[in-house]
Amino acid sequence: MIKIREAFEGKKAFIAYLMAGDPGLAASAEYILTAQEAGADLIEIGIPFSDPIAEGEVIQAASVRALNAGTRLDGVFEMVASIKDRMRIPAVFMTYLNPVFVYGYDRFFARCAEIGISGAIIPDLPFEEQGEVKTVAAKYGVEIVTLVAPTSEKRAAEIARNAEGFIYLVSSMGVTGVRDEITADLPAIVSELRKSARVPIAVGFGISTPEQVKRVSAAADGVIVGSALVRVVAQYGTEAGRALFHTIEAMKGV
Amino acid sequence: MENGRFGVYGGRYIPETLMSALYELEEAYAACQRDAAFQAELNRLLAEYAGRPSLLYYAANLTAEAGGANIYLKREDLNHTGSHKINNVLGQTLLAKRMGKTRVIAETGAGQHGVAAATAAALLGLECEVFMGKEDTERQALNVYRMRLLGAKVHAVTSGTMTLKDAVNETMREWTRRVSDTHYVLGSVMGPHPFPTMVRDFQSVIGREIRAQMLKAEGRLPDAVVACVGGGSNAIGAFYDFIGDASVRLIGCEAAGRGLDTERHAATVAKGSPGVFHGMKSLFCQDEFGQIAPVYSISAGLDYPGIGPEHAYLHESGRAVYVPVTDDEAVDAFERLSRSEGIIPAIESAHAVSYAIRLAKELGKGQNIAVCLSGRGDKDAAAIARYRGEDLCD
């Protein structure tokens, strides 16, 4: 299993989010490899969920497309397993807690370890509830990536001290999705977090342009781009490879 | 109870952006519980504005027809706005105001909670926005108009199944967008801590009144308390005061829709399994991979794939039992209570009435049943007519 840490070594990490099963699992496998080729340093693989309460319209719609295409958790595992040997960068799952809980924590994280998934981002699992999941995930060497929001305030230090993998700093209020303005005072929040954090800090939610990537990367250790890539897949369907490659390349600002 | 847990159920499974707001709410609520002035103001509003205490009415005709135990109806339908929802909404909007919030948002299924929230917001001078599944805005067009009339903005939710579950999703999303000046007036004993506890406390006035009224009428506690369960707020309100009284049977009636042998139901206890959703660990209707199932009931208020965590706990501990009631049975009870007592119940409440009629026979004479008549049925008249093949223009 490739450690999450490697994505941040000697560089600002570009983290690409893609929804598994959108528009189908075969296409997802191709697009994950495309993102790697285009220079992504870490891949976040979304597990589609019926009720993604932290997502904006773009990722909600991707979830619906994936589920309507018949994507099931077992299929997502198989898809990731099928490209395991070609992955040179770490990959993590982004999933709501219920699919993990229902599958069984032990069974889920054992499967993650088998197929080379290094971590999981679970947006409806705040710090206070992480204990039951972290202890099981740790048995299999899977790290639980925690989120920090502009509203975390006095809880942020405690969260940062206990963070694994990397800290996912939510850029601004609201759900995921493309925004014109990244409202939070990022440099101030990042430097405050660094006092307690032992892991890198990556910023996500609403980052969609090369300029935003550049600005956010300057302030933090990495940047997460989701909706802007999912929108490319939505537009081109099974033919999105080329456009995806160019989008990532442009954002990385090579 | 620690950290909002009821046994293994409950908790706070919510995006990080909302966590500080939940702590702020928990602290403010605890302060208000200790604050005599807040309690006095709430009690004044419950009495002078909502019309409490609501009556405990002995349904003599229905009792005679059922041929067994005495059936008493706890008349929450007589509250201002026509349901028990006002109890919780007055508490939460007063609290919101105390916290300095200027805006409230709410989800609604049938529209009862949305109307109650819009009403309290109008009374207390708060801005109000209500999220309602598009399908429900069509099923309950009159309630949409009532909310607008009260000054609220109503958003038709077009995601997912376009019903109550999706309205909750969208209200939570809206809360993450704008949390500093906004309180989410959650309508049931569900969601993340402290909502299940706080809403239960605001609704527990129902059970306290039943106790006093039944003692006065019969000189003893009821033998059974029966209530319908969607998220479960009127049920927990009716049950809570009796949890320590082992002689009182507590029975929740969930929506079996077209029947438990079909896919078209919302019977979470009978057919659901443990899961984590909408901020809480509880029981949910879902598939083997944890995708939340599309549920169905003739009643928009019971058309929800989960149940409050305290109910999951009461079920697991055996203190309360949960029984399924079908659309057909609920519609029969809806018509029966209308004709025998001249009381048109909400179709949600009709689920409880249906089971109470069955239970009355089973228990036999000399026993007493208190049924929570959680709301009035005017809103359902057109839908029930349609169910019977008659198309009304409203």
Instruction: Report the pLDDT value the prediction gives residue A254, as an integer from 0 to 100.
Output: 54
Give the one of B12, B160, B289 whose C-beta lies nearest to A103's C-beta.
B289
Average pLDDT over residues A225-242: 97
Domain ranges of chain B: 5-47+85-199, 51-82+204-387
State the pairing for strand pair B273-277/B279-284.
antiparallel
Which of B85, B97, B165, B271 is the catalytic position? Answer: B85
Whether A193 and A160 have beta carbons less than 8 Å apart is answered as yes
Contact A124 B290 (CB under 8 A): no
B288 in active site: no
Contact B166 A98 (CB under 8 A): no
Tokens at residue B286, please? 């879902």
B85 in active site: yes
Residues in chain A: 254
Contact B172 A149 (CB under 8 A): no
Q: CATH classification of B51-82+204-387, choosing from 3.20.20.20, 1.20.120.450, 1.10.630.10, 3.40.50.1100?
A: 3.40.50.1100
Contact A97 B276 (CB under 8 A): yes
Contact B286 A102 (CB under 8 A): yes
| Residue B148 CB neighbour total at 10 angstroms | 13
Report chain B residues whose CB lies below 8 A from the CB of A203.
none
pLDDT tens digits for B204-232?
999 999 999 999 999 999 999 999 999 99
Q: Count how many pairs of residues, chain A against chain B, have C-beta atoms within 8 Å.
A: 113
Positive or negative: CA dihedral B29, B33, B34, B39: positive
Contact B15 A155 (CB under 8 A): no
Whether B87 and B80 have beta carbons less than 8 Å apart is answered as no
Q: A145: distance to nearest CA of chain B, Å?
A: 12
Q: Which of B162, B168, B182, B289 to mutate to test the interface with A (most CBs of A within 10 A)?
A: B289
pLDDT tier, A182 (very low <50, low <70, confident <90, very high otherwise): low
Name B326's bridge partners.
B257
Structural domains in chain A, CATH included, are 8-251 (3.20.20.70)
Q: ipTM of this predicted complex?
A: 0.95
* The domain over range B5-47+85-199 is classified in CATH as 3.30.505.10: no
Side-chain-side CA neighbours of A101 within 13 Å: the count stands at 26
Q: What is the DSSP string of A116-142?
A: TEEEEE-TT--GGG-HHHHHHHHHTT-
Positive or negative: CA dihedral B354, B359, B364, B367: negative
The nearest alpha carbon in chain B to A59 belongs to B159
Q: Is the pLDDT of residue B267 over 80?
A: yes
Fold: same for B5-47+85-199 and B51-82+204-387: yes
Q: Residue A117 and residue B163: Cα distance in Å, rounded?
A: 35
Q: Residue B296 and residue B300: Cα distance in Å, rounded?
A: 8
Tell whether B27 is within 8 A of chain A (Cβ). no
Instruction: Report the pLDDT value the prediction gives residue A80, as an integer from 0 to 100.
Output: 98
B107 in active site: yes
Instruction: Report the pLDDT value the prediction gives residue B110, as an integer from 0 to 100.
Output: 81
Average pLDDT over residues B265-280: 97
Those residues whose C-beta lies under 8 Å from the C-beta of residue B269, and which sit 6 or more positions away, are: B229, B252, B254, B283, B307, B311, B312, B315, B322
Q: Which of B291, B251, B284, B280 is nearest to B270 (CA)?
A: B284
Whether B349 and B228 have beta carbons less than 8 Å apart is answered as yes
- Burial (CB count within 10 angstroms: exposed 0-12, middle 13-18, buried 19+), residue B61: middle
